[in-house]
Structure 1
Amino acid sequence: MPLRLGLFGDSLAVGVGAARAEDTPGPSLVAALARAGVEAVHRVHAVSGARSAALPGQVAAAGDWPQVAVVVVGANDLTHLVPVARAAGDLGTAVAALRAVGAEVVLVPVPDLSAVAHVPPALRDLVRAAVTTLRAAQVAAAAPLGARVVDTSAVSARSAADAALFSADRFHPSSAGYRALVDVVAPVVLDAARAVLDAA
């Protein structure tokens, strides 16, 4: 039976901005797993524009289907000034629910919004500090529950230096941007997938 991969969170998990469906995270991660010898299928439970408060509902709707869950969230919490403790608490609730049905969880923390072109240079340090604070809270909420955390620092650095990693809206990743993201997410997803297969 193929491994069941679920994607939760916001537009980054959906793949908004990619030029082709196959460039979005779901199909890209399935392809990466296939190259490693792991057959997988995926479902996208994420919704563009979602904040962390939407995660528990997404997880409840998925039931016990996902064996590996990739959670990508945080950007909309920042842009809507959601209190850090509330956002992290909602994330922790969702991760706990996924773990309760036996899913391995991979957290992709909030992206570095200071790299977005719309952010004025004078505000970039402030935005970067807000990102750092939310990321730390996300990790503190999810890691003790057994979530694996993806280090996206290399992608953040590349995004700040290469406009081609953004789509035409200059906010969401382009197909190239998603490839850069999947390059760092896929090894962690593979590790989670092997944990599932080893336990079967």
Structure 2
Amino acid sequence: MTTLRFRVLGDSLAAGVGCTRVEQSIGHVLADALRAAGHRVELSVHAVPGARSADLPPQVRAAVAAGVDLALIVVGANDLTRFTPPAVGAEKLRDAVTGLVSTGARVLVVTAPDMGVLAHVPPTFRDVVSQTSRLYATAQAAAATTAGATVAHVGPEVFSRFAVDERLFSADRFHPSAAGYAVIAQALTTYVLAAARSA
């Protein structure tokens, strides 16, 4: 059986900040799902907490050097908090996807989350923040698709759960808890399994 080289790139969400154990992070949960589906998996996480789309090149180089069949990129939250223009962040994401696809890897991209569900956002600004998040995610999705990636959609039904259930957040009220990561990973599993079949 061929080993599937699964690499996770991106920011603190990709790295699993907020989990109490590394096994609860997105990469590990999805690797377990792949193994349950019959794949032999080699996982490495190159994600860096605080990373923006502009910080992806070193992660791409590390993933390519290690060998990559399937890559998951989770990025965008820090671009939003630092007011990165959508066109700028999308271009950096496109370049990262291109670098991975050029090696023959299958690439999945999770775009920016809906920041309007965060408790730190005053209620009067939540609609504006949510709209800004959607515009940024739309630009990311277009760029990623153009470069050859598949967008793994974490839809409104997921964000609505975070909006009403504080247990899905860790103590900092910004990063997901283990339960929150499980919800996100569940939304991504179908995409990951489909990509693995064609990797």
Paired residue for 2:171? 168
Structure 1 SS opposite 2:71? strand
Partners of 1:107 and 1:8 in 2: CA distance: 10
Amino acid at match of 1:36: A
Please give the alpha-carbon distance, in whole angstroms, between the structure 2 residues aligned to 1:111 and 1:39. 30
Kindly report the root-mean-square deviation, in angstroms, between the aligned alpha carbons of the 2 structures. Answer: 1.0
How big is each residue's C-alpha offset from its partner over 1:74-100, in whole Å with a ceiling of 9 and x where there is no partner? 000000011111100000000011000
* Aligned position for 2:29: 28
1:47 Cα offset (Å): 0.2
Deviations 1:144-182 (A, max 9, x none): 222111121121111111111000000000000000000
1:60-79 map, 5 Å: 60-64=61-65, 65-79=67-81
- For the 8 Å contact 1:29–1:182, the answer to whether it is kept is yes
State the distance in 2 between where 1:146 and 1:187 align: 18
Q: Deviations over 1:86-116 (max 9, x none)?
A: 1000000000110001110011111111111
Indicate the residue corresponding to 1:184 in structure 2.
187
Distance in structure 2 (CA, Å) of the matches to 1:116 and 1:23: 21
**Partner amino acid for 1:21?**
V
Unaligned runs of 5+ in 1: none
C-alpha distance in 1, partners of 2:180/2:53?
A: 23
Give the % identical residues: 47
Give the drift of 1:57.
2.1
Please list every run of 5 or more consecutive structure 2 residues that lacks an aligned counterpart in the other structure: none
Q: Which residue of 2 aligns with 1:102?
A: 104
TM-score after normalising by structure 2: 0.96
* SS of residue matched to 2:43: strand
Number of matched residues? 196
Q: Give the whole-Å Cα distance in 2 for the aligned partners of 1:137 and 1:14.
A: 23
TM-score w.r.t. the length of structure 1 is 0.95
Shift of residue 28 of structure 1?
Answer: 0.7
Poorly superposed stretches of 4+, deviation over 2 Å: none
Contact residue 30 and residue 39 of structure 1 kept, 8 A: no
Cα distance in 2, alignment partners of residues 100 and 106 from structure 1:
14
Q: Distance in 2 between matches of 1:84 and 1:131?
A: 10
What is the CA–CA distance in structure 1 between the aligned matches of 2:94 and 2:111, rounded to whole Å?
13
Contact 1:25 1:178 in 2 (8 A): yes
The CA deviation at 1:58 is 1.1
Equivalence for 2:144: 142
Q: Distance in 1 between matches of 2:145 and 2:167?
A: 32
CA contact (8 A) 1:73 1:108 kept: yes
Q: Find out whether 1:90 has 2:92 as its counterpart.
A: yes
Rounded Cα–Cα distance in structure 1 between residues aligned with 2:74 and 2:28: 15
- Partner SS for 2:42: strand
Aligned partner of 1:98: which letter? Answer: L
